[in-house]
Amino acid sequence: MPEVITVIENMANAGSNIIGTTFNDLKSMIDLVEDKSRVRVCIDTCHLFASGYDMRTAESYAETMSKFDAEVGYKYLGGIHLNDSKVELGAHRDLHENIGLGCIGLTGFRALMRDPAMVGIPMVLETPSGPAGAVENGDLDIWTREIKLLYEIQGIPDDEWDAKKNVIEQRWRKERDALNPPKEKKAPAKKKGAAKKKKNDDEDSESGSECDH
């Protein structure tokens, strides 16, 4: 079907040498496509951050996207998966967090939302949705509020942002925690070996962000 376009998503490189982690990987794959009108790229913000591309500030976001444009090209950008990261820059772990409550933070998403290059680009939330069964029962309240949050921070002028960002983050964290209370961290098992400890570490990181936001 000639109308079908293949969209390649960047990867977090979680645990192994996975192709598609770097912008150069994406370029190499596109170079192999004969009909380039039928290929696009979807940038996943958590994967981007986990693979070592910073976007925590307006400056680092601009630098990262400049690299994307130089190596891949905005003409191939077909979509964005919006999600914060529960782990730090370059951690190579694919652990999504709600917008602004992880290691990327609100400033990075504000930079993305205010980027003129994003006009017309489809954006999809891939953030935690709430308690088990919430979506199946039609409860989309977290995502509804998250979308409002993204438009709110987009509209705040630069000269007001520093004064407002912490207040907005604290308010949003309370709202999110009320809708989806954080899981209690499990105490590490004693004398169970390295494998057991690693499992507990993974579980801990899934219950909360490993950063200072």
> Is residue 203 a part of any domain in this protein?
no
pLDDT band of residue 133 (cuts 50, 70, 90) is: low
Domains identified in the chain, total number: 1
Task: Tell me the residue ranges of DSSP E strands in 1-67.
Answer: 6-9, 39-44
> Is residue 193 a part of any domain in this protein?
no
Q: Which amino acid is at 51?
A: S
Using only the alpha carbons of the chain, give its radius of gyration.
18
> Is residue 201 a part of any domain in this protein?
no
Q: Stretch 198-208: mean pLDDT, rounded?
A: 46
Question: Which tens digit of pLDDT belongs to each residue from 27-67?
Answer: 999 999 999 999 999 999 999 999 999 999 999 999 999 99
Answer yes or no: is pLDDT of 19 > 50.
yes
Sign of torsion over alpha carbons 15, 16, 18, 21 = positive
> Is residue 149 a part of any domain in this protein?
yes
> pLDDT at position 167, please?
98
Q: What is the mean pLDDT of the chain?
A: 88
> pLDDT at position 200, please?
39
Distance of CA 10 to the CA centre of its chain: 11
Write out the residue range of the structural domain in which residue 41 sits: 6-184
Q: Of residues 139 and 117, which shows the higher confidence score?
A: 117
Answer yes or no: is pLDDT of 199 > 80.
no
> Is residue 196 a part of any domain in this protein?
no
Question: Which CATH number is 25's domain given?
Answer: 3.20.20.150
The angle formed by the CA atoms of residues 124, 112 and 96, to the nearest 5 degrees, is 50
39-44 and 6-9 strand pairing: parallel
Question: Which tens digit of pLDDT belongs to each residue from 174-184?
Answer: 999 998 888 77
> pLDDT at position 201, please?
39
> Is residue 127 a part of any domain in this protein?
yes
The percent of residues above 90 in pLDDT, for the chain, comes to: 72
> pLDDT at position 15, please?
64
Q: Stretch 144-172: mean pLDDT, rounded?
A: 97
123-125 and 77-82 strand pairing: parallel
pLDDT band of residue 209 (cuts 50, 70, 90) is: confident
Answer yes or no: is pLDDT of 126 > 80.
yes
> pLDDT at position 176, please?
94
Q: Of residues 137 and 140, which shows the higher confidence score?
A: 140
> Is residue 209 a part of any domain in this protein?
no
CA count, 13 A, side-chain hemisphere, 47: 20
> pLDDT at position 3, please?
81
> Is residue 69 a part of any domain in this protein?
yes
d(CA 16, CA 39): 25
Question: Which tens digit of pLDDT belongs to each residue from 96-123?
Answer: 999 999 999 999 999 999 999 999 999 9
| Phi, psi torsion values for 131, nearest 5 degrees | -60, 160
> pLDDT at position 196, please?
44
Q: Cα dist. 74→43, 93, 119, 129 in Å?
A: 11, 26, 11, 30
